[in-house]
Chains A and B, each alone.
Chain A
Amino acid sequence: MVANESVRRSAGTPNVLPLPFGIGLGTGGICVTASAVIGLLADGDEYSQARVGELILGLVSILSGFALARLQSNQAITRAAAMSMFVAGWVGMNAVAVAAFWLSGELASPLDAVFEAVSASTTTGYTTVADPEQLSYSLRFLRVAMPWATGLGVLLVSMGVLPAAVAGAELLPERHLRGRRQLVTTVREAVRNILGLYLLLTGALIIGYLGAGMGVFDGITYALSTASTGGMANHADSIGHFDSAAIEWIAAAGMVAAGGNLLVVWWAIRGRLDSVWKSTELRLYASLLVLGFLAVRFGGSDLSTSDSAVAISSMLSTTGLRSANWAASSAFVQATLLVAGGIGAMSGSVGSGFRQARVARIALEVRRSLQHLLSPNRQSIIRVDGVAVKEGSLALTYGYLWMHAFTLAGVSTLLYVDLDVIGTLTFALGLVSNIGVLVNGDELQSFVDPSGWTEVVASFGMLLGRLSIYPVLLTVAGIGRWLSRLRPHRAIGAGS
């Protein structure tokens, strides 16, 4: 047994990180290559040199990624390793994107390139570009291709690969409480189902947007942006640029679907409406959507019905697309939308934020504790989706709540921006919940002009929010341990 283990350990690379890093590199390479091809076709001659550079970068990244992904690992995939793999994949994809953004020469500084790439790949949507229409087609496409790829990656890893392949992954924050086996039995089946659903949503949005009057490029890019809850837009006014109620309704419906749990969508497609109705999280999501819509529409704003629908679905799904300036509305409307953004999307979706499932659990726990105070002898368990929640799982939810709160507080404090308090707090909320909009006085904007320091803090905040904090912190801790191992050990007795 021991001998077998030592044999197994001696074969292959000593850790699992090259594989996800390679996949990330390859995915980034595909995005950059596709952008470069679109740029070569649509951008004028003045950009051709940069496009060729991007094409070479993309192809080299794909090849490097392919080579790295072929390296076999002998290390068992523990939970910590799985989380580090998640981060490694993301880093690999971003490395290519940062290089592409910087090589394009359209951004002011390398840090702007990092910020833009991180904002895109974390599905946040903040931008350092005041007028995105001035950017080349290539870069505009890359800004939406990255979040789309991330969205797919998040779904595949959290809903498919990890639950099927890693022992103990059921405690990962992204996973839904029950019904996993109906969607995922093998990794192959999981990839097929998730990819199918994601492509279905994206395809439907493309057709919808084109039918509602968008051009081909805008239709595709906004569909990618909506399906991934990225929120990156080709226009400074986001979808408000089109001033079309039809486009706004399609965007709202797309964002609601993107912020919904893929598993629930799967049940709905399979006709299992009883399971859909039993979903505590879905009921909460639907209630918040309806209540939020009513609050925004009738709570002291002059937004139209479609604008109100876009506003609430954009914040609740953490997309960040805008059709109207709700920052000029009443304080109640602003408060409602900011709270919605803080709560965020359903678990098992591409959306971000604190997540509906956690809010549901916490609300049930507060109710239970109040009941316990009234009747100390009463024993009760918390049920979500009709299934009793383990106390250990609840403890993890509380722990995550405080980590989320500390992250939000830390990012708010470390940002050094020329905004008022609400501007700074909404900026921080937009970073950690990956929403990508902030309230600057009476203006709602995705454009930010941060200092270098703020760009670094903001990038880290977006990353923490997108990867649900744990993986990033555990990877940072892992790097720290690895560095400490590199230090030369003092010989025993050398000090005496």
Chain B
Amino acid sequence: MMLERRQESRRKTGFTAPSRRIPATVTHICGLALLAIAPGLLVSAIVEFIGGGESGWWLIACALIFGIVGGGMWQGTRLGDLALRTVFASVAWSWMLVSVLGALPFILARTFERDGISRWVEIADAVFESVSGYTCTGSTVLTTLPSLNENDPEVGKGILFYRQLTQWYGGMGFVQLVITVLPALGSKALGFMGAEAPGPTADRLAPRAADTAKILWKLYIGGTLAIAIAYTAAGMNLYDGFAHALTTAATGGFSTYGNSLGEFDSISIEVVAQVAMLFGGSNWALHWLFLTKSRRVYAEDHEFRAYLAIYVVCTVAITAILTAGNEIEGGFGSALRSASFNVASMASSTGFGNAQGAQSAGDFVLWSSTPLVILLLLMVVGGMSGSTAGGTKVIRSRVLAAVSHRTLAVARQPRAVVPVKLGRDVVPERVVTQVSLFMMAYSALVVGGFLLVTWLGGGTEASIAGVIGSLGNMGPAYGDAGPTATFQDAFPTPARMVLAFLMLVGRLELFAVLLMFAAPRRALRRVKPHKHAF
């Protein structure tokens, strides 16, 4: 009624009253992001009730909290400043807020309760798990994950389903989801997409950025459903099929079982997972173009070719080393199975494991050092740009290789003007500089993180792999944090908090998080009275 009256008055007078909402872009985007999580919590509550768990009401309570707080933040504010630093800060703060508040269901359901730990450690564990989920990392501190035939699991199915959903939300990015319902962003939406998108640039599939976001989300939902059907056809039940499809499409790597996909001990499931992980780790824009335009897009894309070549070469190398060194039981077949699965898992930054338990064939921490070094390098490289995968991305490694080649050419002929080329395409100098800066900041974070985590009590081997894995959103690390273990024993609580922060930094590709404090600081500075005002 009131709205109609206001519209009527606007028609008559041609005057639009100024909005009473506070112009606060960061709060507005954060509110919408929280609101987007609420339906997922409701679905999880339903799964919890069906599965006979005890945490259904807590999930509903969390859905209400997310809805009310998110709705309030959204409705109470409007879009204000849309400068680049504000865009970066909005994306970073929304991720921070959702990741931290996302721990609420775990805290209320006492998922991480165990003997001999304080309530604060329990909360820290919940936050770690939530951040690991939303950033699609897949590192876990949950030691009470069930086995396949367990009748009375300690953690309810709904809570586990929510844990899977966190990765699904994080895979495509909830800011991307927010963009689809915020037409007011206009051309600035591409800035938001770029701040959240993995890779040096955001692909544009439609003239409007909001349409691009919609296309990607539709594709994401379709891909998830297809993977769920494939899992179910390969032998999983409906719940497991959907739960694992959520984290496969997102290249997250959370599983509902302690032994991850190794729990099923099924080659067909592992083959489906491998294909799906590689699919998730490749550029989703390519999938769209394949469906709508050309069947040759994969073959023509140089990054995709490099991505597949890395997978094949690393699989062959590790299989050869495992077979030649007689490192695992079962000979060539077993070596190929373990090598191909773990390479796909690391190259796509998913982090699923196929070990049926500690000391089994897929437990890669038992392998010799060369395969582990290869897997560590895969953690650094990661998947393709525009994918749900983490790591520094294949395209950046290719650019850096081209930059190295150019440096060599310039060293030989100092006056030569040598462009950086990928295939036949010349890479603009602006992109070359951005990639170089990104990699320099990444290297600095690896070194700094390594020093900090070891200082806080992490072991040398676990820390280097843990830091690289967290920045690359991988999941398992080495040492005591291998694929059949959790991060609980390998790292003390403060070190785990540092790793959680690195996960966020890695998911948002460094600069957004580094700039997240810049916008509020500037806003505060503007509020302060000017020194010479009077």
Chain A positions near chain B (C-beta within 8 angstroms): 79-80, 83, 168, 171, 299, 330-332, 334-336, 339, 342, 362-363, 365-366, 369-370, 373-374, 376, 395-396, 398-403, 405-406, 409, 412-413, 415-425, 439, 470, 473-474, 477
Interface size class of B (residues with CB under 8 A): 35 or more
Residues of A within 8 Å of B370, CB to CB, are: 413, 415-416, 424
Residues of B within 8 Å of A330, CB to CB, are: 454
**Contact between chains at B84 and A332 (CB < 8 Å):** no
**Contact between chains at B414 and A79 (CB < 8 Å):** yes
Q: Which of B84, B400, B440, B459 contacts A376 (CB 8 A)?
A: B84
Q: State the CA gap A420–B368 with chains docked (Å).
A: 7
Residue B372 at the A interface, CB < 8 A?
Answer: yes
Q: State the CA gap A334–B453 with chains docked (Å).
A: 12
**Contact between chains at B369 and A421 (CB < 8 Å):** yes
Q: State the CA gap A287–B440 with chains docked (Å).
A: 21
**Contact between chains at B403 and A335 (CB < 8 Å):** no
Q: State the CA gap A416–B458 with chains docked (Å).
A: 27
Given contacts A335-B454, A339-B450, A374-B85, contact A396 B410 (CB under 8 A): yes
Q: Which residues from 94 to 151 on chain B have a C-beta closer than 8 Å to any C-beta of chain A?
A: none
Q: State the CA gap A398–B443 with chains docked (Å).
A: 12
Q: Which residue of A lies closest to B411 (CB)?
A: A470
Residue B464 at the A interface, CB < 8 A?
Answer: yes
Q: Which residues from 435 to 459 on chain B have a C-beta closer than 8 Å to any C-beta of chain A?
A: 436-437, 439-441, 443-444, 447, 450-451, 454-455, 457-459
Given contacts A366-B441, A419-B369, contact A409 B454 (CB under 8 A): no
What 3 A-B pairs are tightest by C-beta distance, nearest first?
A399-B407, A424-B369, A331-B454
Given contacts A335-B454, A421-B478, A424-B369, contact A402 B404 (CB under 8 A): yes
Q: State the CA gap A398–B411 with chains docked (Å).
A: 13
Residues of B within 8 Å of A473, CB to CB, are: 408
Given contacts A369-B437, A421-B376, contact A168 B407 (CB under 8 A): no
**Contact between chains at B411 and A396 (CB < 8 Å):** yes
Residues of B within 8 Å of A405, CB to CB, are: 400, 443
**Contact between chains at A470 and B447 (CB < 8 Å):** no
**Contact between chains at A335 and B451 (CB < 8 Å):** yes
CB distance from A137 to the nearest CB of B (A): 37
Residue B460 at the A interface, CB < 8 A?
Answer: yes
Q: State the CA gap A332–B407 with chains docked (Å).
A: 35
Given contacts A168-B414, A374-B85, contact A331 B458 (CB under 8 A): yes
Residues of A within 8 Å of B240, CB to CB, are: none
Q: State the CA gap A115–B518 with chains docked (Å).
A: 53
**Contact between chains at B374 and A413 (CB < 8 Å):** yes
Residues of A within 8 Å of B260, CB to CB, are: none
Interface 1/0 per residue, B401-431 and A, CB below 8 Å: 1011011101111100000000000000000
Given contacts A79-B413, A417-B369, 13 further A-B contacts (CB under 8 A): A80-B413, A83-B411, A171-B414, A331-B460, A332-B451, A339-B447, A398-B403, A398-B407, A399-B407, A402-B404, A405-B400, A405-B443, A474-B408
Residue B461 at the A interface, CB < 8 A?
Answer: yes
Interface 1/0 per residue, B58-86 and A, CB below 8 Å: 00000000000000000000000000110
Residues of A within 8 Å of B368, CB to CB, are: 418
**Contact between chains at A398 and B369 (CB < 8 Å):** no
Q: Which of B88, B408, B436 contacts A403 (CB 8 A)?
A: B408
Q: Which residues from 380 to 406 on chain B have a C-beta closer than 8 Å to any C-beta of chain A?
A: 400-401, 403-404, 406
Q: Which of B84, B412, B450 contacts A474 (CB 8 A)?
A: B412
Residues of B within 8 Å of A339, CB to CB, are: 447, 450-451
**Contact between chains at B412 and A402 (CB < 8 Å):** no
Given contacts A401-B440, A406-B404, contact A171 B411 (CB under 8 A): yes
Q: State the CA gap A439–B461 with chains docked (Å).
A: 11
**Contact between chains at B407 and A374 (CB < 8 Å):** no
26 contacts between A and B (CB under 8 A): A79-B413, A171-B414, A299-B455, A330-B454, A331-B460, A339-B450, A365-B440, A366-B441, A369-B441, A373-B515, A374-B518, A376-B84, A396-B407, A398-B436, A401-B443, A402-B436, A405-B443, A406-B401, A406-B404, A413-B370, A416-B370, A417-B369, A421-B461, A421-B478, A473-B408, A474-B411
Q: Which residue of A lies closest to B414 (CB)?
A: A168
Q: Which of A374, A419, A422 contacts B515 (CB 8 A)?
A: A374
Q: State the CA gap A336–B451 with chains docked (Å).
A: 7
Residues of A within 8 Å of B463, CB to CB, are: 331, 335
Residues of A within 8 Å of B238, CB to CB, are: none
Q: Which residues from 319 to 365 on chain B have a C-beta closer than 8 Å to any C-beta of chain A?
A: 321
Residues of B within 8 Å of A413, CB to CB, are: 370, 373-374, 377
Given contacts A373-B515, A409-B377, A413-B373, contact A335 B412 (CB under 8 A): no
Residues of A within 8 Å of B465, CB to CB, are: 421
Q: State the CA gap A342–B446 with chains docked (Å).
A: 13
